[in-house]
Amino acid sequence: MTDADRPERAPGADRDVAVVGGGPAGCSAGVFLARAGLDVAIFDRGRSSLKRCAHLENYPGFPAGIDIETLYDLLHDHAETAGCDVVADLVESVDRADRGEGFVVTPQEGDPIDARRVVAATRYGGEYLRGLDDEAAMFETHEHAGERHESFDGAYADRDGTTPVDGLYVASPSEAADTQTVMAAGRGARVARRVVADARIDDGWWEDVADGVDWVRREAELDDEWTDRETWVEWFDDYRAEDAPVDPGSDRYERVRAAAIDDARSSYVGPAEIESRAAAGHEALARHLDADAIVDAVDETALLAAMDDEVVREYVDADADRPEVGE
Protein backbone atom coordinates (compact mmCIF):
# COMPACT_ATOMS: atom_id res chain seq x y z
CA MET A 1 0.00 0.00 0.00
CA THR A 2 1.37 3.40 -0.94
CA ASP A 3 1.12 6.52 1.23
CA ALA A 4 -1.62 7.79 -1.07
CA ASP A 5 -3.66 4.64 -0.41
CA ARG A 6 -3.14 4.64 3.36
CA PRO A 7 -6.47 4.87 5.21
CA GLU A 8 -6.94 8.29 6.77
CA ARG A 9 -6.52 8.56 10.52
CA ALA A 10 -9.07 10.17 12.75
CA PRO A 11 -8.27 13.87 13.26
CA GLY A 12 -5.56 14.24 15.90
CA ALA A 13 -4.63 10.55 15.99
CA ASP A 14 -0.93 9.82 16.55
CA ARG A 15 -1.29 6.21 15.44
CA ASP A 16 -3.68 4.19 13.36
CA VAL A 17 -3.47 1.28 15.79
CA ALA A 18 -2.05 0.72 19.27
CA VAL A 19 -1.43 -2.94 20.10
CA VAL A 20 -1.19 -3.71 23.81
CA GLY A 21 0.97 -6.80 24.27
CA GLY A 22 4.21 -7.77 22.53
CA GLY A 23 3.86 -11.54 22.61
CA PRO A 24 2.92 -13.87 19.72
CA ALA A 25 -0.63 -12.49 19.29
CA GLY A 26 0.42 -8.85 19.49
CA CYS A 27 3.43 -9.14 17.19
CA SER A 28 1.52 -11.24 14.67
CA ALA A 29 -1.23 -8.62 14.62
CA GLY A 30 1.34 -5.84 14.28
CA VAL A 31 3.02 -7.48 11.28
CA PHE A 32 -0.24 -7.83 9.35
CA LEU A 33 -1.36 -4.31 10.26
CA ALA A 34 1.91 -2.62 9.33
CA ARG A 35 2.24 -4.53 6.07
CA ALA A 36 -1.19 -3.16 5.12
CA GLY A 37 0.16 0.37 5.53
CA LEU A 38 -1.18 1.21 8.98
CA ASP A 39 0.92 3.13 11.51
CA VAL A 40 1.29 0.78 14.47
CA ALA A 41 2.76 0.98 17.96
CA ILE A 42 3.14 -2.25 19.96
CA PHE A 43 3.39 -1.74 23.72
CA ASP A 44 5.35 -4.59 25.27
CA ARG A 45 5.11 -4.71 29.04
CA GLY A 46 7.70 -7.49 29.18
CA ARG A 47 5.43 -9.97 30.93
CA SER A 48 4.20 -12.10 28.05
CA SER A 49 2.92 -15.48 29.20
CA LEU A 50 5.27 -16.94 26.57
CA LYS A 51 8.16 -16.14 28.88
CA ARG A 52 6.83 -18.63 31.42
CA CYS A 53 7.80 -21.45 29.03
CA ALA A 54 11.14 -23.20 29.39
CA HIS A 55 11.48 -24.15 25.71
CA LEU A 56 9.08 -24.08 22.77
CA GLU A 57 8.91 -27.35 20.82
CA ASN A 58 5.72 -27.18 18.75
CA TYR A 59 6.10 -23.94 16.78
CA PRO A 60 6.43 -24.85 13.06
CA GLY A 61 9.77 -24.13 11.45
CA PHE A 62 11.98 -25.01 14.43
CA PRO A 63 12.61 -28.80 14.23
CA ALA A 64 14.57 -28.95 17.51
CA GLY A 65 12.46 -26.32 19.21
CA ILE A 66 13.43 -22.74 19.95
CA ASP A 67 14.46 -21.05 23.17
CA ILE A 68 12.03 -18.42 24.36
CA GLU A 69 14.40 -15.45 24.32
CA THR A 70 15.42 -16.06 20.71
CA LEU A 71 11.81 -16.44 19.58
CA TYR A 72 10.82 -13.30 21.49
CA ASP A 73 13.63 -11.35 19.82
CA LEU A 74 12.60 -12.72 16.41
CA LEU A 75 8.97 -11.69 16.99
CA HIS A 76 9.98 -8.12 17.82
CA ASP A 77 12.50 -7.96 14.98
CA HIS A 78 9.79 -9.10 12.55
CA ALA A 79 7.32 -6.51 13.85
CA GLU A 80 9.88 -3.71 13.56
CA THR A 81 10.98 -4.81 10.09
CA ALA A 82 7.33 -4.72 8.98
CA GLY A 83 7.13 -1.12 10.19
CA CYS A 84 5.86 -1.28 13.77
CA ASP A 85 7.32 0.69 16.65
CA VAL A 86 7.84 -1.65 19.60
CA VAL A 87 7.56 0.42 22.78
CA ALA A 88 9.00 -1.12 25.96
CA ASP A 89 6.38 0.29 28.28
CA LEU A 90 3.38 -0.84 30.31
CA VAL A 91 0.00 0.58 29.27
CA GLU A 92 -1.79 1.88 32.35
CA SER A 93 -5.05 3.01 30.76
CA VAL A 94 -6.98 3.27 27.51
CA ASP A 95 -9.69 5.93 27.48
CA ARG A 96 -12.04 7.33 24.91
CA ALA A 97 -10.67 10.44 23.22
CA ASP A 98 -12.49 13.70 23.95
CA ARG A 99 -13.44 13.97 20.29
CA GLY A 100 -15.55 10.82 20.73
CA GLU A 101 -13.61 8.80 18.16
CA GLY A 102 -10.49 6.82 18.91
CA PHE A 103 -8.62 6.38 22.17
CA VAL A 104 -5.99 7.93 24.40
CA VAL A 105 -3.40 5.30 25.35
CA THR A 106 -1.46 6.20 28.49
CA PRO A 107 1.72 4.22 29.23
CA GLN A 108 3.47 4.05 32.57
CA GLU A 109 6.56 6.02 31.55
CA GLY A 110 6.11 7.57 28.12
CA ASP A 111 3.75 10.25 26.86
CA PRO A 112 0.11 9.38 26.05
CA ILE A 113 -0.73 8.80 22.41
CA ASP A 114 -3.94 8.97 20.44
CA ALA A 115 -4.91 5.89 18.43
CA ARG A 116 -7.85 5.36 16.12
CA ARG A 117 -8.01 1.69 17.10
CA VAL A 118 -6.71 -0.48 19.93
CA VAL A 119 -5.91 -4.21 19.84
CA ALA A 120 -5.74 -5.86 23.27
CA ALA A 121 -3.27 -8.74 23.02
CA THR A 122 -2.46 -9.43 26.67
CA ARG A 123 -3.11 -12.86 28.16
CA TYR A 124 -3.74 -11.68 31.73
CA GLY A 125 -4.92 -8.39 33.11
CA GLY A 126 -7.18 -6.08 31.19
CA GLU A 127 -7.30 -3.44 33.89
CA TYR A 128 -6.03 -0.83 31.44
CA LEU A 129 -9.41 -1.07 29.66
CA ARG A 130 -11.60 -0.48 32.69
CA GLY A 131 -14.30 2.08 32.05
CA LEU A 132 -14.67 1.40 28.34
CA ASP A 133 -17.47 -1.13 28.78
CA ASP A 134 -19.31 -3.26 31.33
CA GLU A 135 -16.55 -4.96 33.33
CA ALA A 136 -18.67 -8.01 34.14
CA ALA A 137 -19.05 -8.65 30.43
CA MET A 138 -15.41 -7.97 29.60
CA PHE A 139 -13.55 -9.98 32.22
CA GLU A 140 -13.59 -13.27 34.06
CA THR A 141 -11.54 -14.37 37.06
CA HIS A 142 -10.05 -17.84 37.44
CA GLU A 143 -7.35 -19.63 39.40
CA HIS A 144 -4.11 -20.93 37.98
CA ALA A 145 -1.28 -22.51 39.98
CA GLY A 146 -2.89 -21.29 43.20
CA GLU A 147 -3.13 -17.70 41.99
CA ARG A 148 -6.19 -15.72 40.90
CA HIS A 149 -5.97 -14.18 37.45
CA GLU A 150 -8.26 -11.91 35.49
CA SER A 151 -8.54 -12.31 31.74
CA PHE A 152 -10.93 -11.41 28.97
CA ASP A 153 -14.19 -13.31 28.96
CA GLY A 154 -14.09 -15.70 26.03
CA ALA A 155 -17.54 -14.55 24.91
CA TYR A 156 -16.78 -10.82 24.99
CA ALA A 157 -15.14 -10.52 21.56
CA ASP A 158 -16.31 -12.09 18.33
CA ARG A 159 -14.11 -14.59 16.52
CA ASP A 160 -12.56 -11.79 14.47
CA GLY A 161 -11.76 -9.78 17.61
CA THR A 162 -14.49 -7.14 17.29
CA THR A 163 -16.15 -5.99 20.50
CA PRO A 164 -19.17 -3.85 21.46
CA VAL A 165 -16.76 -0.90 21.77
CA ASP A 166 -16.15 0.68 18.36
CA GLY A 167 -12.46 0.56 17.54
CA LEU A 168 -11.54 -1.91 20.32
CA TYR A 169 -10.46 -5.42 19.31
CA VAL A 170 -9.36 -8.36 21.45
CA ALA A 171 -6.60 -10.66 20.18
CA SER A 172 -5.97 -12.17 23.60
CA PRO A 173 -6.40 -15.95 23.87
CA SER A 174 -10.12 -16.63 24.36
CA GLU A 175 -10.01 -20.38 24.91
CA ALA A 176 -7.71 -22.80 26.69
CA ALA A 177 -6.29 -24.01 23.36
CA ASP A 178 -5.32 -20.47 22.42
CA THR A 179 -2.62 -20.56 25.07
CA GLN A 180 -0.50 -22.50 22.57
CA THR A 181 1.90 -20.03 20.98
CA VAL A 182 1.12 -20.92 17.38
CA MET A 183 -2.63 -20.53 18.02
CA ALA A 184 -2.11 -17.18 19.72
CA ALA A 185 -0.12 -15.99 16.70
CA GLY A 186 -2.92 -17.15 14.41
CA ARG A 187 -5.51 -15.29 16.44
CA GLY A 188 -3.45 -12.10 16.23
CA ALA A 189 -3.31 -12.41 12.43
CA ARG A 190 -7.05 -13.07 12.16
CA VAL A 191 -7.91 -10.04 14.28
CA ALA A 192 -5.47 -7.86 12.32
CA ARG A 193 -7.18 -8.74 9.06
CA ARG A 194 -10.46 -7.51 10.53
CA VAL A 195 -8.82 -4.27 11.65
CA VAL A 196 -7.33 -3.72 8.19
CA ALA A 197 -10.71 -4.32 6.58
CA ASP A 198 -12.42 -1.87 8.95
CA ALA A 199 -9.76 0.79 8.29
CA ARG A 200 -10.28 0.41 4.57
CA ILE A 201 -14.07 0.55 4.94
CA ASP A 202 -13.69 3.82 6.85
CA ASP A 203 -11.72 5.06 3.86
CA GLY A 204 -14.46 4.23 1.38
CA TRP A 205 -13.83 0.57 0.54
CA TRP A 206 -16.63 -2.00 0.89
CA GLU A 207 -16.53 -5.38 2.62
CA ASP A 208 -15.89 -7.67 -0.36
CA VAL A 209 -12.95 -5.54 -1.46
CA ALA A 210 -11.59 -4.58 1.95
CA ASP A 211 -11.15 -8.17 3.11
CA GLY A 212 -7.85 -8.73 1.31
CA VAL A 213 -4.97 -11.14 1.89
CA ASP A 214 -1.26 -10.75 2.61
CA TRP A 215 0.98 -12.86 0.45
CA VAL A 216 3.83 -12.64 -2.06
CA ARG A 217 3.56 -14.67 -5.25
CA ARG A 218 5.73 -15.40 -8.28
CA GLU A 219 5.29 -13.26 -11.36
CA ALA A 220 5.59 -16.46 -13.37
CA GLU A 221 2.10 -17.40 -12.16
CA LEU A 222 0.69 -14.55 -14.25
CA ASP A 223 0.11 -15.29 -17.92
CA ASP A 224 0.53 -12.56 -20.52
CA GLU A 225 -3.08 -11.45 -20.14
CA TRP A 226 -2.71 -10.70 -16.44
CA THR A 227 0.40 -8.60 -16.88
CA ASP A 228 -1.90 -6.00 -18.45
CA ARG A 229 -3.54 -3.69 -15.91
CA GLU A 230 -6.68 -3.49 -18.05
CA THR A 231 -7.31 -7.18 -17.37
CA TRP A 232 -7.38 -6.44 -13.66
CA VAL A 233 -9.76 -3.53 -14.25
CA GLU A 234 -12.12 -5.76 -16.24
CA TRP A 235 -11.96 -8.46 -13.57
CA PHE A 236 -12.73 -5.96 -10.81
CA ASP A 237 -15.71 -4.58 -12.71
CA ASP A 238 -17.02 -8.07 -13.43
CA TYR A 239 -16.75 -9.39 -9.86
CA ARG A 240 -16.88 -6.33 -7.57
CA ALA A 241 -19.12 -3.76 -9.23
CA GLU A 242 -22.40 -5.56 -8.55
CA ASP A 243 -21.95 -5.46 -4.75
CA ALA A 244 -20.43 -2.00 -4.66
CA PRO A 245 -22.39 0.51 -2.54
CA VAL A 246 -21.60 3.23 -5.08
CA ASP A 247 -22.12 3.56 -8.81
CA PRO A 248 -19.32 2.28 -11.05
CA GLY A 249 -17.68 5.28 -12.63
CA SER A 250 -18.02 7.43 -9.51
CA ASP A 251 -14.87 8.98 -8.04
CA ARG A 252 -15.10 6.75 -4.97
CA TYR A 253 -15.50 3.58 -7.04
CA GLU A 254 -12.56 4.40 -9.28
CA ARG A 255 -10.35 5.36 -6.32
CA VAL A 256 -11.08 2.12 -4.48
CA ARG A 257 -10.69 0.05 -7.64
CA ALA A 258 -7.29 1.59 -8.35
CA ALA A 259 -6.08 1.04 -4.77
CA ALA A 260 -7.33 -2.57 -4.67
CA ILE A 261 -5.69 -3.39 -7.99
CA ASP A 262 -2.41 -1.77 -6.92
CA ASP A 263 -2.52 -3.81 -3.72
CA ALA A 264 -3.11 -7.08 -5.60
CA ARG A 265 -0.52 -6.45 -8.33
CA SER A 266 2.18 -5.46 -5.84
CA SER A 267 2.12 -8.96 -4.35
CA TYR A 268 3.72 -10.49 -7.45
CA VAL A 269 7.53 -10.44 -7.61
CA GLY A 270 10.12 -11.61 -10.11
CA PRO A 271 13.08 -14.03 -9.71
CA ALA A 272 15.61 -11.35 -8.72
CA GLU A 273 13.32 -9.99 -6.01
CA ILE A 274 12.58 -13.50 -4.74
CA GLU A 275 16.31 -14.22 -4.46
CA SER A 276 16.94 -10.89 -2.74
CA ARG A 277 14.17 -11.48 -0.19
CA ALA A 278 15.37 -15.01 0.50
CA ALA A 279 18.90 -13.73 1.21
CA ALA A 280 17.57 -10.98 3.47
CA GLY A 281 15.46 -13.52 5.34
CA HIS A 282 18.43 -15.82 5.95
CA GLU A 283 20.57 -12.91 7.09
CA ALA A 284 17.91 -11.64 9.51
CA LEU A 285 17.54 -15.11 11.01
CA ALA A 286 21.32 -15.62 11.28
CA ARG A 287 21.68 -12.42 13.31
CA HIS A 288 19.74 -14.09 16.11
CA LEU A 289 21.75 -17.32 16.13
CA ASP A 290 24.84 -18.15 18.16
CA ALA A 291 27.93 -17.99 15.94
CA ASP A 292 29.37 -21.20 17.39
CA ALA A 293 26.11 -23.00 16.66
CA ILE A 294 26.28 -21.89 13.03
CA VAL A 295 29.85 -23.15 12.70
CA ASP A 296 28.93 -26.49 14.30
CA ALA A 297 25.81 -26.95 12.17
CA VAL A 298 27.26 -26.05 8.77
CA ASP A 299 29.67 -28.32 6.90
CA GLU A 300 33.18 -26.84 7.16
CA THR A 301 33.78 -27.03 3.41
CA ALA A 302 30.50 -25.27 2.67
CA LEU A 303 31.25 -22.63 5.27
CA LEU A 304 34.69 -21.87 3.81
CA ALA A 305 33.30 -21.86 0.29
CA ALA A 306 30.72 -19.28 1.32
CA MET A 307 33.49 -16.99 2.58
CA ASP A 308 34.77 -15.70 -0.76
CA ASP A 309 38.08 -13.86 -1.00
CA GLU A 310 36.46 -10.43 -0.62
CA VAL A 311 34.69 -11.44 2.60
CA VAL A 312 37.88 -12.89 4.03
CA ARG A 313 39.86 -9.75 3.12
CA GLU A 314 37.26 -7.51 4.78
CA TYR A 315 37.42 -9.62 7.93
CA VAL A 316 41.25 -9.67 8.00
CA ASP A 317 41.46 -5.91 7.38
CA ALA A 318 38.95 -5.23 10.16
CA ASP A 319 40.86 -7.52 12.51
CA ALA A 320 44.14 -5.76 11.66
CA ASP A 321 42.62 -2.39 12.57
CA ARG A 322 41.25 -3.69 15.85
CA PRO A 323 43.43 -2.54 18.82
CA GLU A 324 45.20 -5.14 20.91
CA VAL A 325 43.91 -5.77 24.41
CA GLY A 326 45.53 -3.25 26.76
CA GLU A 327 46.18 -0.61 24.09
Q: What is the 3-state secondary structure (H, E, C) of 208-257?
A: HHHCCCCCCEEHHHCCHHHHCHHHHHHHHHHHHCCCCCCCCCCHHHHHHH
C-beta of residue 125 within 8 angstroms of C-beta of residue 36: no
**AA identity, residue 154:** G
Please compute the mean of the pLDDT values over residues 182-210 and round it to a whole number: 94
The answer for residues whose C-beta is within 8 angstroms of residue 149's C-beta and 6 or more apart is 124, 125, 141, 142, 143
Burial of 238 per CB tally in 10 Å (0-12, 13-18, 19+): exposed
Please compute the mean of the pLDDT values over residues 118-137 and round it to a whole number: 86
Percent of the chain with pLDDT over 90: 59
Please compute the mean of the pLDDT values over residues 104-108 and round it to a whole number: 95
The answer for residues whose C-beta is within 8 angstroms of residue 292's C-beta and 6 or more apart is none
Please compute the mean of the pLDDT values over residues 89-113 and round it to a whole number: 91
3-class secondary structure, 176: helix
- Rounded CA gap, 39 and 199, in Å? 11
Burial of 202 per CB tally in 10 Å (0-12, 13-18, 19+): middle
Checking if the pLDDT of 113 tops 90, the result is yes
- Rounded CA gap, 43 and 88, in Å? 6
pLDDT at 3: 44
Percent of the chain with pLDDT over 70: 84
- pLDDT tens, 215-252? 899 999 888 899 999 999 999 999 999 889 999 999 99
- pLDDT tens, 34-90? 999 999 999 997 666 777 788 989 989 999 999 989 999 999 999 999 999 999 999
Please compute the mean of the pLDDT values over residues 140-149 and round it to a whole number: 71
Task: Supply the mean pLDDT for the chain.
Answer: 86
Q: Which domains does the chain have, with CATH numbers?
A: 3-202 (3.50.50.60), 207-269 (no CATH)
Checking if the pLDDT of 11 tops 50, the result is no
C-beta of residue 59 within 8 angstroms of C-beta of residue 74: no
- Rounded CA gap, 304 and 236, in Å? 52
- pLDDT tens, 15-41? 999 999 999 999 999 999 999 999 999
Checking if the pLDDT of 317 tops 90, the result is no
The answer for residues whose C-beta is within 8 angstroms of residue 183's C-beta and 6 or more apart is 173, 177
C-beta of residue 128 within 8 angstroms of C-beta of residue 137: no
pLDDT at 6: 43
Q: Cα–chain-centroid distance for residue 71?
A: 15
Q: Looking at 87-91, 133-137, 184-188, 203-207, which range is the least confident one?
A: 133-137
String of b and e for 161-185 (b: at least 16 CB within 10 Å)? bbbebebbbbbbbbeeebeebeebb
